[in-house]
Structure 1
Amino acid sequence: MDNNNGKTLYTLDKMRGVLNTEQNDRIIVPLLALRYAYAYQKEDDFQFSISWEELCSDRTGDKIICAMNELAIQKPWIEQGLKLFEVEGIRNLDSLLYELRKVELAKDNRELLEIYFSLSAKNRSKYGVSNEAKKLYEPKEVNELAVKLLDIKSDSSVYDFHAGYGRPLVEAARSNSNISVYGMDANPELVGIAELSAFMCGLQQGDFQQGDVFNVLRNEVGSERKFDYVISHPPLGIKLNEGIHTKYGEIRRDGTLGFVVHALESLKEEGKGIVTVSNGVLFQGSGGIRKELIDNDWIDAVITLPAGIFTGSGLSITMLVINKKKAPERKGKVQVIDASSFGERKRGAVIMSSSELDQIKDSYFNYKEDNKLCRILDISEISQNKYNLLPGFYLQMEDASSLIGEVQIDRSAFEKNQETIKLKDMVRIYRGLNTASGLDTDTLNAKVIQLADVQDGSLHLETVGTYGLKLSTKEEEAEIQVGDVLLTSRGIAMKCAVVTEITNGPYYLSANFIGLRPSQGVNPYFLLTFFESPIGESYIRSLRKGVTLPILNRNDIEDIPIPNLTSEEMEQIGNQYKKVLSDYTEAKIAAEHMQVSQLEQIYRKMGISKGYKRKD
């Protein structure tokens, strides 16, 4: 940020202090637009009957209104934004105009407005829904990336159905000045602000209208206008009171796919678009609308961005690249790019570097496939996996920390070179139980194993507490037995343990675990060896869903490939691994005793031991 923008932001902050919070943008942004028009009056040939000096001495606001009306006549496309300004309710117009005189604006104020709107976004409600949706605000790098990927051509039209502050359309216009931009937003105030923002960033023309995507979908009419490109970042977590029927399927409680359908419907026959969505819509459910989009070959690429990249949300965000006319080499395929590990947190925000953005662009435009950052999938492979579009599910190479140090994992090489058998053919898989809530009255008290009861690879039955289970629960299905292998199903930390003994039982698994009961001839420590290996941990990571609280589902692990060995080989490996764990524990205890002994000798020499007594 240059020094001039810093001074201007300081001035704008002082202007905020004169106004009520809900007035800020409605008053400040129209005044900035008027200041901009006066600053470039000669260059852009604006005609005003009132001089800037006269306007700044206005005590009633009449001259300001007059000047805004004159500007609206000359620039009718920003009229709705200028009409946001109302004199009523302004406590101290003199102070406001005094600060406005200090404002210096460039011809293109994108950087200044980026910072100003990012601060405003924290206090705004775009859709009147959850705080998550209210605060959502994409960094400029996301818009720059999206515009680059769209590769917008001259004499084309670009549409944003959640125009907000107009930033994606401004970025599109900056990439190619010879285009037409169209914006829609459900919030009429934001429509006006988007107009003024585009105007102050140097756009000569724009078309911004109020409208609601879901009303369009409910009326079951296609978009009246069709566009060459769509770029939009709709809010996350929109919950619908009732479902909406579309020709692609039913949009149920989560309205996210409604935005994707609207984007598709708004594109011309050869159109291309980018819509950001939360990761949940990439894999949840059996397919539905997602299946239609994939089977009709409209999904060009799926690009997962780092969690927290959008201000106000810690969720992982994904770009869906829609293309109605794919290049021949892309037909019948979907490219997945997993950039979730990119970015660095700076001052509370996640920022992707220019080199990381270049990697994404290079992978997309050169149609790369390295099985680590990106892969090219046949639609048939996606359909076989329940139309799951989550990139991490398909990428089989990764760098990871493991018990043997830092490793580069290639699951595809493992599957290619090792004969395997599906996990479900070696064990019975059972899930843990949800404990009763405080509102449940008919409960059964039982000993239920929680995450804290598994430490350092061992199950500690002595710490297991008693919890209430609903009487309708089939608790016997979650009762552990000696030889069972326990895997954590929730949380960031991955824990595994073998049940070696049971005293004072019975004990039951909580919903934080998945239980594996080995078939005859399958050594439980052989399974533990696999799941604590770099390959086993990689499969678990790839199957867990969610960012804040990753979840592993019972059905998802059924097909994990396990080395197909004889019972004798599994027994030998299991016993060998058990001995490794035992030797490590004994060595660790011996090392700790040696450390204590040596420290006590040092403390005695220093005289420190005179000031304490050991309790053990």
Structure 2
Amino acid sequence: MNQLIDLALNKMYQRQITSREQLLNEMLRVKLTVEKLDSQQNLAKDKEKMFQFMKRETEQELGFFPADREDFIDFFTALKDIDPIDFALEIYKNDRMGTVISPKYLIQYIEEKIAKLNPQRILITEAEKHLAGLQALVMRFPQMEITLTTQLKSMSLLLRLGFSKFKNVRIIFESIYTECLLHETFDYIFCFPAFGAKPDEIGKQFLTRESDGIAAENMLAHLKDTGTMDIILPAKITFAGMEYEKLRAYIANHFTIKSIYILPEGTFRPATAIKTYLISIAVKPEKTIKIGNFQLEKDVLIVADTKEVGMREFLAHEDWRVELLLSEDDENIQRFKNSAREKVKLKEVAEVFRGKSILKKDTTLGDIAVLNISNLESGEINYSDMDTIAEEERKIKRYELLDGDVVLSCRGTAIKSAVFKQQDRTVIASANVIAIRPKDKVLGRYIQIFLESPIGMAMIKSFQRGTTIMNINHSDIMEMEIPIIPIHEQQDMIQQYDRELSIYKKAVSEAETRWESTKITLYNKLI
């Protein structure tokens, strides 16, 4: 940590100013006072006059100063020579719940992209997320008109103070989740919206109701005919149904997707660990789309495992799950996609629901058994070691498992599945498990066989919203396609599967018994 910043923070902590919002506010108060003192230099020699000057000039914008005159003089002395952006980076760098600060290597990648495109008008939305490399970017392109937006009042002032010396930079205090930047268009837009929020006042009708989808649609309207937008979006944008399906169709029909790259795991930690993509969208048509993974090499973001796909081929898919196109099983997946065999979405032939959220402290001796991931072993369920809860049956009825239900892990580090067999007690699924209840066209065991197949596993992974720790939403699994064959063929497949599995397990058991016996015989010879 910068020593000056460390000393300043200690002074503020001692006065019980500890939250990030309070710390930033008082830094801005000092910087605003410094700015306004330029024409009142004589005041700096009189502590009381300077204190009263600060209150008069800053309290309307920043609120009441929470300490006394001596405290302010101490803050002023400690903070006046510290760069406000460096200070903000320091206090927000480990923020788990608030402002997301993107890593420096990401904004450096965007900087190189701008250098190649050579746009004249640039828009960077919610610019406070990119403080780590924003000044360097602005300094590199003094000839370009750069607009920075924020919807946070404190960040608006921070950006104004931090970029006041750059004549080509304009700060706009507006939300990108409503009508904004009226009648303005840009050659290049870089957007990193909030994920999954539902803004209250959006001002107009958008295809989606969540912040990421709203921002994507909203900002595309501000692209020039020759413009390009790079936007960071969560995994669900590539496969979620309903309103996101409409958004994908809108983008495909009116714009061109130039590239979709998967960002490295942990790019935005500790704020979020969900899987994210950098999607590049242009107005002009392209014949191909580039897909791939980003890798971090010596603090530089580079594209790896890249693949170029024909635009027609890409748009022939219902979604944008580039993982399927990049998969080692891509050939098999394409055969599956292109086969004449009838396929249906899982939601058409089964009811899909997620289990009940149960904390460890809630488990107790009770009549209701809880199936968790730990109870799934090698494609089967261990019914003998389940947690239990004491709860009224009417309250857990919607989570109760029935004979033939397929259970699929949706959290953890491994994909596990099994078929539930009716027990002599009530068993419910935990929140770490997705339950799939087949209807009349499909059998549970058949669904499980497909899920554990290489194609099934690849498709499940493509719905992954997390990175190392798996996070699969049941609403996404509902959109998964499975092949449909007649019931009697499903039954034949299941009988063959179970017969060969039984033979395999017997052979393994006999081999293990023989091996243990052999070891004991050999060990006894050592005595």
Where on the TM-score scale, by shorter chain, does this alignment land: which range?
A: 0.7 to 0.9
Amino acid at match of 2:48: T
Match of 1:92 among 71, 76, 100: 71
- Is the CA contact 1:300–1:335 (under 8 Å) kept in the aligned structure 2? yes
- Is the CA contact 1:431–1:509 (under 8 Å) kept in the aligned structure 2? no
Amino acid at match of 2:175: D
Deviation at 1:458, TM superposition (A): 2.5
Deviation at 1:85, TM superposition (A): 10
Paired position in structure 2 for 1:549: 471
Written as runs of structure 1 = structure 2, the 5 A alignment for 1:116-265 is 116-121=87-92, 132=97, 134-151=98-115, 156-164=120-128, 167=131, 169-199=134-164, 203-216=166-179, 223-241=182-200, 245-246=204-205, 249-252=206-209, 254-265=210-221
Q: Deviations over 1:273-331 (max 9, x none)?
A: 222233333332332233211211243222332343224222223223222235xxx24
How many Å separate the matches in 1 of 2:447 and 2:192?
A: 44
Match of 1:584 among 508, 514, 525: 508
1:336 maps onto 2:336 in alignment: no
Paired position in structure 1 for 2:417: 496
Gaps of 5+ in 2: 359-366
Q: Deviations over 1:141-169 (max 9, x none)?
A: 12112232344655712222323377365
1:267 maps onto 2:189 in alignment: no
Written as runs of structure 1 = structure 2, the 5 A alignment for 1:409-558 is 409-413=328-332, 415-416=334-335, 421=341, 430-431=350-351, 450-463=372-385, 479-481=402-404, 486-492=406-412, 493-497=414-418, 504=424, 512-514=434-436, 531-532=451-452, 534-546=454-466, 549-551=471-473, 553=476, 555-558=478-481
Deviation at 1:138, TM superposition (A): 1.1
Match of 1:359 among 293, 303, 325: 303
Give the TM-score, by structure 2 length. Answer: 0.73
How many Å separate the matches in 2 of 1:575 and 1:460?
A: 20
How many Å separate the matches in 2 of 1:268 and 1:81?
A: 41
How many Å separate the matches in 1 of 2:202 and 2:108?
A: 34
- Is the CA contact 1:30–1:85 (under 8 Å) kept in the aligned structure 2? no
Give the TM-score, by structure 1 length. Answer: 0.64
Higher relative contact order (CA 8 A, sep 6+): 2
How many Å separate the matches in 2 of 1:546 and 1:301?
A: 21
SS of match in other structure, 1:158: strand
Amino acid at match of 1:213: I
Change in CA separation of 1:308 and 1:437 when aligned onto 2, cut-off 3 Å: closer
Paired position in structure 2 for 1:62: 50
- Is the CA contact 1:523–1:571 (under 8 Å) kept in the aligned structure 2? no
Written as runs of structure 1 = structure 2, the 5 A alignment for 1:295-374 is 295-310=253-268, 311-326=270-285, 330-331=286-287, 333-339=288-294, 342=295, 352-354=296-298, 357-359=301-303, 372-374=305-307
Q: Deviations over 1:224-282 (max 9, x none)?
A: 32222222323333213366544xx4342x12222122322222222222222333333
- Is the CA contact 2:329–2:458 (under 8 Å) kept in the aligned structure 1? no
Change in CA separation of 1:569 and 1:256 when aligned onto 2, cut-off 3 Å: closer
Paired position in structure 2 for 1:389: 320
Change in CA separation of 1:580 and 1:180 when aligned onto 2, cut-off 3 Å: same
How many Å separate the matches in 2 of 1:264 and 1:556?
A: 27
SS of match in other structure, 1:250: coil
Calculate the aligned-residue CA RMSD, in Å: 5.1
SS of match in other structure, 1:306: coil
SS of match in other structure, 2:23: helix
Q: Deviations over 1:60-94 (max 9, x none)?
A: 3639969xx9xxxxxxxxxx999869878455234
Change in CA separation of 1:452 and 1:175 when aligned onto 2, cut-off 3 Å: same
How many Å separate the matches in 2 of 1:172 and 1:414?
A: 42
Paired position in structure 1 for 2:363: none
Amino acid at match of 1:300: K
Change in CA separation of 1:303 and 1:13 when aligned onto 2, cut-off 3 Å: same
Change in CA separation of 1:471 and 1:193 when aligned onto 2, cut-off 3 Å: closer
Change in CA separation of 1:139 and 1:457 when aligned onto 2, cut-off 3 Å: same
Paired position in structure 1 for 2:364: none
Moved more, 185-194 or 299-308: 299-308
Gaps of 5+ in 1: 39-46, 70-79, 125-130, 343-351, 361-371, 398-408, 439-444, 606-616
How many Å separate the matches in 2 of 1:561 and 1:375?
A: 32
- Is the CA contact 2:262–2:277 (under 8 Å) kept in the aligned structure 1? yes
Kindly name which structure, 1 or 2, has the bigger radius of gyration based on alpha carbons. Answer: 1
Identity of matched residues, %:
13
Deviation at 1:488, TM superposition (A): 0.9
Deviation at 1:123, TM superposition (A): 9.3
Amino acid at match of 1:357: L
Deviation at 1:185, TM superposition (A): 1.9
SS of match in other structure, 1:395: helix
SS of match in other structure, 1:512: strand
